Structure 1
């Protein structure tokens, strides 16, 4: 079941036209959300990111787009797909209504919500082989727009194809200054000599919801120092540990980058703290 502007439909067929601005111009945003047994994880952070992103893109926010209203629509969709007693991956798409070319005729929006089942209720650490490489065919432009979760993800798509063709589990993206920004599907953290570092948003990385949770946990870790600072490609092979974060997987340790093998000590510690935080919230 698909939720389109508050109405449930059996499928997404015939709901979007060829003139849809998300399709025609990438004039759309999305949020990927994990819902565990009817509980939306980090919902307040998702909501405020969506509202801020809509304002930046000059979309008109409907009067009824309150936190409670959208939460209700998400849970209605989860229930319609019989996932209230399971764990679901929910995607909410928001796009400007049809009309115009580059210049829209209206800033009003439509939205749709879809849900699919996930296997794991809480976050589990994947300790299997996870090899990454740099993707250097195209570069991320630093700036505010790069931090938004928009539907224009050509670099991520091409990087994913490159990773698949070369048997890598993931790739890291570089910005135009040739510093490391993030992974294809999440934010990057680097551990070296008790310092845990992640690129600042000014580098062009996504304003990730899980990134925010991990930063809060890292800042409370005794014996570690947290830094938001640019990461050069040369630092990767000198690191003790690398891990990637997003709201669906939680924390994904990197095991190999070129000839370097990494530990997973901090990843294990943080995923325990993350699950504890969720249980207590």
Structure 2
């Protein structure tokens, strides 16, 4: 079942002139439904609106937080997922018309939902090895921080990881700094210091990244640093972990010859779940 611009349908009709297909002229949000609410909904909503403004899309007056939340919960109910944990993807696409220059800056949306196994985040203790992906580089600019439908670096990097037996890859920006992972933000732990790349390095403006930064900033036993990460720092770290809305926190167990602990990741996961329950 799909919520297609406010209509629930099993057969949404997409035009062959869809600008999301033609040019990647679309933005999206991946959301976690815990069984009774959408986690960090306000943060997702405002990130979506900000992304649309940056891409110069015309935002309809009815696109309020309440409107979208109601439409997404209608979708969850139609998919028989009410009371069950679920993943929701909400995609907003500019209306068809024009070539690079659109003739219609209006938008439409569609949303899909699928079941998740757990309502709250759990920590995986299995092997999770990563490598640098050097075939292509992220631009350290504002567009790279958005969740747009143009994710070819992430797609080709995921294929590279699978072909070479890695669970994930880390992306470098054009300054050769480590910006993020293929599917989330990166955090590096060294002693009591926790470091994550700044948005100016081109990493995604992640929702769980924001939540963890707020959590860490209030803890006396850790210091938070938002600064560039050199590839040389990776093997000196005590821990590396990746964050995103669906997984929460994913510890990295190995990068090249270095193995990592997950003590800090476990500590932060409990605090993140507490925030999900309260948020």
Within a 5 Å distance, the mapping from 1:174-193 to structure 2 comes to 174-193=172-191
Aligned to 1:102: 100
In 2, the alpha carbon distance for the partners of 1:275 and 1:152 equals 31
The alignment yields a C-alpha RMSD, in angstroms, of 0.7
Deviations 1:51-94 (A, max 9, x none): 00000000000000000000001101011000012111000000
**Could you list the runs of 5+ residues in structure 2 that have no partner in the other structure?**
none
List alignment gaps of at least 5 residues for structure 1.
Answer: none
CA contact (8 A) 1:30 1:93 kept: yes
Please identify, of 24-33 and 3-12, the stretch whose mean Cα deviation from structure 2 is larger. 3-12
Scaled by the length of structure 1, the TM-score of the pair is: 0.98
Tell me which residue corresponds to 1:17: 15
The answer to whether the aligner puts 1:243 opposite 2:232 as a matched pair is no
Report the CA distance between 1:277 and its aligned residue. 1.6
How big is the shift at 1:133? 0.3
Q: Following TM superposition, where does structure 1 have runs of at least 4 consecutive aligned residues deviating by more than 2 angstroms?
A: none
What is the total number of aligned residue pairs between the two structures? 279
Q: How does 1:43-122 map to 2 (within 5 A)?
A: 43-122=41-120
**Match in the other structure for 1:3:** 3
- Give the drift of 1:10: 1.4
Counterpart Cα distance in 1 of 2:82 and 2:141: 38
1:11 to partner: Cα distance:
3.3
- For 2:276, the equivalent position in structure 1 comes to 278
Deviation for aligned residue 1:38? 3.1
Secondary structure at 2:224's aligned position in 1? strand
Q: In structure 1, what is the equivalent of residue 133 of structure 2? A: 135
Residue-by-residue CA offset, 1:170-197 (whole Å, 9 max, x unaligned): 0000000000000000000000121100
Deviation at 1:279, TM superposition (A): 2.0
| CA offset digits 1:153-210 (Å, max 9, x no partner) | 0000000000000010000000000000000000000001211000000000000001
Provide TM-score, normalisation by structure 2. Answer: 0.99
Query: How many angstroms apart in 2 are the aligned matches of 1:98 and 1:5?
Result: 14
**1:109-258 residue pairs with structure 2 within 5 A?**
109-258=107-256
Whether the 8 Å CA contact 1:38–1:75 is kept in 2: the answer is: no
